[in-house]
Structure 1
Amino acid sequence: MASSKLLLFLLVLSTFKFLSITCTDFAVGGEYGWKTPKSKNDSQIFNNWASKNRFIVGDTLHFEYDKDSVLAVTEEEYEKCYSSHPVFFSNNGDTVFHVDRPGLFYFISGVSGHCERGQKMIIKVLDAAHPPQSTAEQNTTTETSQGSAAPGMSAFSSPTFMLLMVSFIGPVLVV
């Protein structure tokens, strides 16, 4: 009977390992980094980069830049490309922003003229506890901050998890 309880305990622990969600440190802009776009054709470079990534609560955004700044601002300030009281400000050249809630985040450069030329970005952050259902293709590979493919993770719903646990635990407890 003691070996059955040990087996049950190990089974539960191994199941939780499969359900863990890992957070990611994203290098903002990928290889381009956080710098002013070179032309009008590149004015959406940061929003295009953001749209190719999936952000969850707990992720971090890593901004690397020279002689610039990063401001997290409201939607209205994002549209104006100006903020006198940003939600977040950093100008140290190596900024890490911790995503602490789901929703939309708006970022702009604080250097005059940079935001107007396209150095701004909106990211949509999902709640890690309730990720959206993925398509089969999204489960096969996910885009990382460096642009390479990595194995995707499937998410179990609570009822599926409970059914899975009962199907494994039930026979162990009956013995």
Structure 2
Amino acid sequence: MFLWLAIVLMISASVSSHEHKLNWVVPPANSSESFNDWASNKRFQVGDTIRFKYKKDSVMQVTKEDYKLCNSSHPRFYSNTGKTRFMFDHSVPYYFISGMSGHCEKGQKMIVEVLSRDKTTTSSAPPAALAVWFCFFSLSLSLVA
């Protein structure tokens, strides 16, 4: 029973999602860092979430074209709760902008590249878990015989 629990925990740990936290504010005028710099230093995968934290603002997911133009008139997703949690459900680029007038033009926008889990998983946990399961199965058979 203990080995079975260990196997389940090892497999679930290998496919767990991550939550990325971000202070969603207008970047200072003299800042050399952008939200795209922040996003490019992370590895986002399908199932991961991003938590936008902000005050008196909003976050919008938009098309690539609307991102380029800072156009907030047709968002795919909109929230102004101050603590927006957004889950990535496809392996595509996601485009985010602020919905407040002028904020996007001042750099409050971001592209997040999301990778598919099955193509990017490099963990050895599933093969190791299968090896443990095989040993457990073999031991069980030997006890029955």
Q: CA deviation at 1:173?
A: 1.1
Find the counterpart in structure 2 of residue 12 from structure 1: 4
CA 1:155–1:54 in 2, change beyond 3 Å: closer, same or farther?
farther
1:21-170 alignment to 2 at 5 Å?
Answer: 21-28=15-22, 33-39=23-29, 41-42=31-32, 44-128=33-117, 130=118, 132-134=120-122, 154-156=123-125, 161-170=129-138
Count of matched residue positions in the alignment of Structure 1 and Structure 2: 141
Q: CA deviation at 1:61?
A: 1.5
Conservation of the 8 A alpha-carbon contact between 1:19 and 1:155 = no
Q: What SS class does the counterpart of residue 116 from structure 1 fall into?
A: helix
Q: Which has the higher contact order (CA 8 A, sep 6+)?
A: 2
Q: CA deviation at 1:131?
A: 5.3
TM-score (norm 2): 0.80
Amino acid at match of 2:104: C
Amino acid at match of 1:15: I
Q: What SS class does the counterpart of residue 71 from structure 1 fall into?
A: strand
Uncovered stretches (5+) of structure 1, i.e. residues with no partner = 1-8, 135-153
Q: Distance in 1 between matches of 2:78 and 2:6?
A: 41
TM-score (norm 1): 0.68
Alpha-carbon RMSD: 2.3
Q: What SS class does the counterpart of residue 58 from structure 1 fall into?
A: coil
Q: CA deviation at 1:72?
A: 0.3
Q: What SS class does the counterpart of residue 105 from structure 1 fall into?
A: strand
Uncovered stretches (5+) of structure 2, i.e. residues with no partner = none
CA 1:12–1:131 in 2, change beyond 3 Å: closer, same or farther?
farther
| 1:119-160 C-alpha deviation (Å, 9 max, x unpaired) | 1111122334x15254xxxxxxxxxxxxxxxxxxx34456x6
